[in-house]
Amino acid sequence: RARYQDGCWSDGELVPYGPLALDPAAKVLHYAQSCFEGMKAYRCGSGVGLFRPERNAQRMAHSARRLCMPPVPESLFLSAVETVVAHCANLIPGSSGESLYVRPFLMGTQPDLAVTASKAYEFYVIASPSEAYHPGNMRLWVEREDSRAAVGGTGDAKVGGNYAASLLSIAQLRERGYDQSLWLNPGNRHTVDELSGMNFFAVMDGVLHTPALNGSILEGITRDSILTLARDLGIEVHEREIDIDDLLALVASGTCSEAFACGTAAIVSPISELGDSEQRYRLAQAPGPVAQQLRAALLDIQEGRAEDRFGWMHMVQVA
């Protein structure tokens, strides 16, 4: 935990897990001045490794600036995360896909109801063992009503408000017979953006397609890694606008044979259906070969079975 007051960050300190003392008027509670990260530490060979943590530090700095918060210096971010991972390393389970999920969080704590940026902040990092989360074959509800992000809003930042805006759609998934919401671009309402916590990919005639970054999509670190791995494996990749109705027609005709989502929590997870209350379109291959190949390639690096050719693993000194 570290605090920001009078224009500077304190050194971080390791404190026992427990409830926070927050003033009921703390800005974060009323105006959602909060941002966070999601990252994982894996058993990597004989050590423990964080996956691309400097990218999380940079994305959190971007999120912080968007909400008028003082970015956590990269050195403080990394040392806090490393301290927590080293402390919790014995909690990381041993099977493939299992990891320690790490959640750095930054919020404005000043007790003041004026709609202005806080003058005081708290940054902390919590962690929890994570099973090999594999949602299986996900059915995606094409969300044509609600938006998780707005044009000119905070879609490309990892801030609490984006997730608040997605909760109502998520709450209705089960009764609708779906597992995840597929969010459309809030500006045009007809191109694909992403899932609530994952980026979207589709395979058409062996070519990988993913929505181009557009200001409302979160720039996933897994997305970036998948693009790098796919190119490295000789898979053609296109980052472009994907019209939802074109996509559904290509799924119906079989041209789009597989689709998957990716993120820190879900790694690479296959999609089996896309649709709404009237029509469902089944992907021919779920899981498909491209998703399986990319998931294996990524986990092989994260767990130290393959050489870390892109310098992605950040090994943590564990006592």
Q: Which residues bind ligand PMP (CB under 6 A)?
A: 38, 158, 194, 197-199, 218, 220-223, 263-264
Compute the Cα dihedral for 289, 290, 293, 296 and give only its sign: negative
Least Cβ distance, residue 115 to ligand PMP (angstroms): 25
Residue 5 CB coordination number (10 Å): 13
Least Cβ distance, residue 235 to ligand PMP (angstroms): 18
Least Cβ distance, residue 153 to ligand PMP (angstroms): 13
Of the pair 27, 40, the CB lying nearest ligand PMP is at 40
Of the pair 169, 199, the CB lying nearest ligand PMP is at 199
Query: Residue 295 CA to chain centroid, in angstroms?
Result: 16
CB 85 within 8 A of CB 50: yes
User: Which residues neighbour 12 within 8 Å (Cβ) at sequence distance 6 or greater?
Assistant: 1, 2, 76, 79, 80, 83, 123
Report which DSSP code applies to 89. G
Least Cβ distance, residue 56 to ligand PMP (angstroms): 7
Least Cβ distance, residue 130 to ligand PMP (angstroms): 12
Of the pair 118, 196, the CB lying nearest ligand PMP is at 196
Of the pair 203, 218, the CB lying nearest ligand PMP is at 218
Of the pair 39, 48, the CB lying nearest ligand PMP is at 39
Rounded-to-integer distance, Cα 186 and Cα 151, Å: 6
Rounded-to-integer distance, Cα 238 and Cα 137, Å: 24
